[in-house]
A and B are shown apart, each in its own frame.
Chain A
Amino acid sequence: GAGVSQSPRYKVAKRGQDVALRCDPISGHVSLFWYQQALGQGPEFLTYFQNEAQLDKSGLPSDRFFAERPEGSVSTLKIQRTQQEDSAVYLCASSLNDRGDGYTFGSGTRLTVV
């Protein structure tokens, strides 16, 4: 597609519920990134894929967070047993290569855990 598409745009989850956030990167983009952005803060790195390989997951805050990109295109960020501190905007970005060419963000998914 023309841009990075994320869905849903908004998600309200009850504490303890599992959620899945989807990212559809720009067609042909090799690299895909997930970020977590708390209110009033800059994005914080969560994880990075090159094609289907998850090369860096050092930013995932706990083992409740899991990301996958099985066919090297669409990616899903899953959060199990959500907690209130998981409330944030989750941003996905993709780039053509690992040099950052064409680095583009999606509009994000705002997750609110109640």
Chain B
Amino acid sequence: KNQVEQSPQSLIILEGKNCTLQCNYTVSPFSNLRWYKQDTGRGPVSLTIMTFSENTKSNGRYTATLDADTKQSSLHITASQLSDSASYICVPFSGGYQKVTFGTGTKLQVIP
């Protein structure tokens, strides 16, 4: 059964600090892994997409890493801002039709 585990479940950090969110997944076959940011009351928005051959990908202050062998990924947020407060969801995609499995996400709160 495809599963996704994210940690921590929730996190509070001070504005300007860095943080790292973790994702472990069991999905087969594996095509690519995406990190989404979901603001309260909004749909998820894609931050990064990585295929199995990519180890790291950046999008501004967001840097994702992927180890396809150990099925682990992380999302590092640098110099956090209040607007980073959201849920971050890790989503591994299989090949073929994309019936994806979502984790419950990490709820990040950035405080002044």
Partner of B41, one of A31, A50, A56, A110: A110
**24 A–B pairs (Cβ distance < 8 Å), ordered by A:** A40-B104, A40-B107, A42-B4, A42-B89, A42-B104, A45-B99, A45-B100, A50-B97, A98-B96, A98-B98, A99-B95, A99-B96, A99-B98, A100-B32, A100-B93, A100-B98, A100-B100, A105-B36, A105-B44, A107-B42, A107-B43, A108-B41, A108-B42, A110-B41
Asked if B96 and A103 sit within 8 Å, CB to CB, the answer is no
User: Known contacts A42-B102, A43-B102; is A99 also within 8 Å of B44 by CB?
Assistant: no
The reply on A2 being an interface residue by CB < 8 A is: no
CA of A62 to CA of B110, assembled, Å: 39
Interface residues of A in 4-53 (CB under 8 A from B): 4, 6, 31, 33, 35, 40-45, 48, 50
Interface residues of B in 24-49 (CB under 8 A from A): 31-32, 34, 36, 41-46
Chain A positions within 8 Å of B97 at CB level? 31, 48, 50, 55-56, 98
Partner of B43, one of A42, A48, A91: A91
Interface range, B side: 20 to 34
Among the interface residues B31, B89, B103, B104, which one has the most CB atoms of the partner chain A within 10 A? B104
Residue ID in chain A nearest B9 by CB atoms: A40
The reply on A73 being an interface residue by CB < 8 A is: no
Number of A-B contacts (CB under 8 A): 61
Give the secondary structure class of A's interface: strand
Asked if A105 and B102 sit within 8 Å, CB to CB, the answer is no
